[in-house]
A and B are shown apart, each in its own frame.
Chain A
């Protein structure tokens, strides 16, 4: 294949370099800053660690605070994802492969949920969770988050499940499987790509959530990572190096997860957008 080298090419690379710089500098500042001491940072905000100092990271990584927050975040995200995907898949199955009166209105009801921001529901949610005695409880965060993840889950899963050929369902029936058997043994495995997408969307949203955990969890031992990062920042505001180390350490799961699942995240976002 012949590629014409246009005048635009050096310009392209210049822009690319600029974009990469702007994106990466704050990340490097955080990660490298964690290896510096406060004296180094105060003398020279921009600079390489010299000498490299592991103390901040070992402090953070050996502290209960960090691992507790990591554990809480993981627990809440896993419950949220499991609930949203499990319950959403069942509903999407009913809405895609059964015919019943009111099916379309029910689907429209769920899609309307796309327009309800969690922010607007936060205050009454807090009051409701207080009534249910779910404050300071992982479920108090996970249940509402799963509920708010349902609309997008169903919107993505329904067309996917509807497109699976009816012949498969007939064949399963021939082999004596009921419809629920078909759902569990054939539809779920076949829907894996779409299920992965919605699971990742739900997980990332929950992992990064700040507002609802802020309202529901006030005991520091229940904090999730975003709460922990913000609290650590205001608590140790003079200890910049330690804040940077804590922040960098809490970036790692998100970045690692992202590198691992980039294709699915991007596919999920673009897929969800196209409806």
Chain B
């Protein structure tokens, strides 16, 4: 079956070239395919699919590193879902995701619209805005950790602005720490949104806007009714990446607060590290990993089903569309 399916060379994925088929011999072709595909498959199955499968398997066992594995049924899952700390960690992930969409998105759109105008030094500006995105979260975390120290640069700036009364224990106050982290996340990732949206804006023909303004539309109307709808695909992709990123948030939180104080900034991933590694609860940690994965997966499927269907056709659904 596989051999007989090998057909003519083709010009485009999914469409068979009408010219006469060149048959280099089926055996040769199969060998070539094996040669080309095996390394990728081994790597992908071995280090992506297998670990996920193994996590599912381990999650049904009670296993703490040194002790032997004993079957535990759904016990680990019950423990995860009933643990207040995990629930609040999940809530923190969701808060960060929601804040990203509500605050970062409008901010990115506004900045992209501004930067899309013809202003002096636009190229340099783009570089500057985008720079934090290429720094690692580790560097970002250390820099902001130092700036947010009591009496540090941030406090000094508040004092200089006459707002000294508003100074807080930015990272030590359990009610505030999550929002402080959100500000740092925004600093690091806002440039990414701006650059994506700028690219989206530049693909909108200038004629469209000119036509609208000739017809008497105000700049606001043009933006609202022409530019934003055309940015739709870019915005939907940004939301997707941003929410998935928020659900997996780890590096920044781990370095700045270790999820503290008292789990006030814990995320699913810091919870996973805390239990899976720091306490060697491999079975329980695997269950946490599976839950984290399922949460991302459900979001991805739902989002793809209801929001991304049109935009991603050809990327996630094959090239047949």
Contact = CB atoms under 8 A, between A and B. Distances in A.
Contacts of B35: 90, 180
Contacts of B314: 159, 275
Interface in A151-176: 151, 154-155, 158-159, 162-163, 165-166, 169-170, 173
Contacts of A107: 318-319
A13 B119 contact: yes
Contact of B128 (A23, A121, A150, A266): A23
A147 interface: yes
B142 A87 contact: no
Interface string A3-37: 10000000011011001101111110110010000
Interface stretch (A60-68, A190-198, A256-264): A256-264
Contacts of A148: 47-48
Contacts of B61: none
Given A23-B187, A147-B44, A211-B250, A16 B134 contact: no
Interface centre among A111, A127, A243 (most CB of B within 10 A): A127
Contacts of A166: 9-11, 17, 19
Interface residues of B, number: 115
Interface string B228-258: 0000011001000100100110110011000
Interface string B28-57: 010011011101110110111111101100
Interface centre among B29, B46, B136 (most CB of A within 10 A): B136
Interface stretch (B164-172, B173-181, B283-291): B283-291
Contacts of B282: 123, 127
Given A123-B276, A240-B146, A147 B48 contact: yes
A95 B126 CA distance: 36
B137 A210 contact: yes
A75 interface: no
A226 B136 contact: yes
Interface residues of A, number: 109
B13 A254 contact: no
Nearest to A29: B153
B2 A101 contact: yes
A95 B191 CA distance: 34
Nearest to B40: A91
B9 A115 contact: no
Interface in B1-30: 1-2, 5-14, 16-17, 19, 22, 24, 29
Interface in A233-274: 233, 240, 243-244, 247, 250-251, 254-255, 257-259, 262, 265-266, 269-270, 273-274
Contacts of A120: 52, 55, 248, 289-290, 292-293, 296
B204 interface: no
Contacts of B40: 87-88, 90-91, 110, 150, 154
Main secondary structure of the interface of A (DSSP, over half): helix
B141 interface: yes
A208 interface: yes
B147 A215 contact: no
B161 to A, nearest CB: 12
B117 interface: yes
B300 A29 contact: no
A58 interface: no
B302 interface: no
Given A117-B248, A119-B248, A247-B143, A124 B289 contact: yes
Nearest to A90: B36
B262 interface: no
B227 interface: no
A108 to B, nearest CB: 6
Contact of B9 (A169, A214, A255): A169
Contacts of A143: 43, 47
A146 to B, nearest CB: 6
Nearest to B34: A94
A187 to B, nearest CB: 12
B63 to A, nearest CB: 10
Nearest to A208: B136
A210 B136 contact: yes
A102 B199 contact: no
Given A123-B272, A269-B192, A104 B47 contact: no
27 contacts: A23-B131, A27-B131, A29-B146, A91-B40, A94-B37, A95-B13, A98-B36, A100-B2, A101-B2, A104-B320, A109-B44, A113-B48, A117-B292, A120-B292, A120-B296, A146-B47, A150-B48, A151-B44, A180-B35, A210-B138, A210-B254, A227-B138, A243-B146, A247-B143, A257-B134, A258-B130, A259-B127
Given A110-B40, A127-B58, 14 more contacts: A23-B131, A113-B48, A120-B296, A122-B273, A123-B272, A128-B47, A208-B138, A210-B136, A210-B138, A210-B254, A226-B139, A230-B142, A254-B139, A270-B195
